[in-house]
Amino acid sequence: MLEISGLVTEFGTRQGILRAVNDVSLQIKRGEILGLVGESGSGKSVLGYSIIGLVDSPGRITAGSIRFGGRELIGQSDEEMRQLRGKRIAMIFQDPMMTLNPVLSIETQMMETVFAHEAFSRQRARDLCLENLAKVGIATPEKRIKQYPHEFSGGMRQRVAIAIALLHRPELIIADEPTTALDVTVQGQILYEMQKLVRESGAALIWITHDLSVVAGFADRVAVMYAGRIVEQGSAADVLHAPMHPYTRGLLDSVPANNEGGGRLRQIPGMTPSLARLPQGCAFRERCSRADDVCLSMPPMERNVRCHHPLC
């Protein structure tokens, strides 16, 4: 339902052109949950913004294609994207206050979203809003809908943001680290509800996160990003339990839960390279124990992994 081919999103900076998304190809089917995993600077958020057409200058998509339901999204006019956004493709952000206007009541904001895409009667629109608030686990929605964002806790605000995202039953939802800033028990509730909602509606969900443990019980497939490229993708079980790329292996090894208590944590040496100073060839080369001269050339994506010396 979503097919990304060879996508390149560049940012023009004083240090030169930085490719935040560098030749990314990805597919996602209806009803599928894809975990898009990567650390800071990997390009995962920019990939999300590229799909929904929210990349701001100095960034722009310079190559590739994004086909949604058979229709090419790159090159669509602003008006055409605006029609799609919120209706067929929705986004949930890490900070719910990016979605919620602090000076408007929840009712005003939700109704506004409904009317942006449908000419419902006020009554019908209101019923839809209340129904969605209940769906995301907000008790007494008739009372809470009249309140303002500051009267909600962080977790509740995020639920409201999710309710807004779901109003028009989108076919694709992009969630950019929505639970990272929330407590573990609240995160657990929201993951539970998202999983339920996605199963029920058949929507596709791209869940962007740096936390591998979150995608473990949650995603069907996982794609790992490093320095703007996808370095590995596959079923969640495969990627998380039989990773092929040394970076994925390194990430999994550094999680405290995967290490003997009290001992030193296994760590990936060095740091993520700056996009302005990428090493020649494989971007992970300088940190990889398996690297050799062959790695001075960019490895192609082959059998779901981008590596000259995959693990297996």
Residue 242 vs 296, nearer CB to another protein: 242
The phi and psi torsions of 96 (rounded to 5 degrees) equal -60, -20
**Residue 189, amino acid:** Q
Beta-bridge partner residues of 221: 34, 235
Q: Which of residues 142-161 bind another protein (CB under 8 A)?
A: 153-156
In sequence order, the 6+-apart residues with CB closer than 8 A to the CB of 216 are 236, 240
Of the candidate residues 14, 264, 277, 303, the single one contacting another protein (CB under 8 A)? 264
Q: Which of residues 23-82 bind another protein (CB under 8 A)?
A: 39-40
- Nearest CA to 42 out of 186, 202, 247 is that of 247
The phi and psi torsions of 141 (rounded to 5 degrees) equal -60, -30
* 3-class secondary-structure state, position 279: coil
Residue 113 vs 158, nearer CB to another protein: 158
Residue 31 vs 154, nearer CB to another protein: 154
Please state whether beta strands 172-176 and 89-92 pair in parallel, antiparallel, or not at all (unpaired).
parallel
Residue 71 vs 199, nearer CB to another protein: 199
Q: Do residues 253 and 259 touch, judged by C-beta distance below 8 A?
A: yes
121 binds another protein (CB under 8 A): no
In sequence order, the 6+-apart residues with CB closer than 8 A to the CB of 60 are 9, 10
Residue 69 vs 137, nearer CB to another protein: 137
Task: List the x/- string, 187-216, binding to another protein by CB under 8 A.
Answer: xxx-xxx-x--------------xxxxx-x
252 binds another protein (CB under 8 A): yes
Backbone angle region of 202, left / alpha / beta, with phi > 0 → left and psi within -120 to 50 → alpha: left
Block residue for tokens 């686990």: 137
Task: List the x/- string, 267-296, binding to another protein by CB under 8 A.
Answer: xx--xx------------------------
Give how many residues touch another protein by CB under 8 A: 47
Residue 126 vs 266, nearer CB to another protein: 266
Q: Which stretch binds another protein (CB under 8 A): 77-85, 263-271, 278-286, 290-298?
A: 263-271
Block residue for tokens 């000259």: 308
In sequence order, the 6+-apart residues with CB closer than 8 A to the CB of 3 are 26, 27, 65, 66, 67
Of the candidate residues 256, 277, 303, 312, the single one contacting another protein (CB under 8 A)? 256
262 binds another protein (CB under 8 A): yes
**Least distance from another protein to the Cβ atom of residue 184, Å:** 5
CA–chain centroid gap for 125, Å, is 29
* 3-class secondary-structure state, position 292: coil
Please give the residue ranges that form the binding site for another protein (CB under 8 A).
Answer: 39-40, 137, 153-156, 183-189, 191-193, 195, 210-214, 216-218, 236-237, 240, 250-252, 254-259, 261-262, 264-268, 271-272
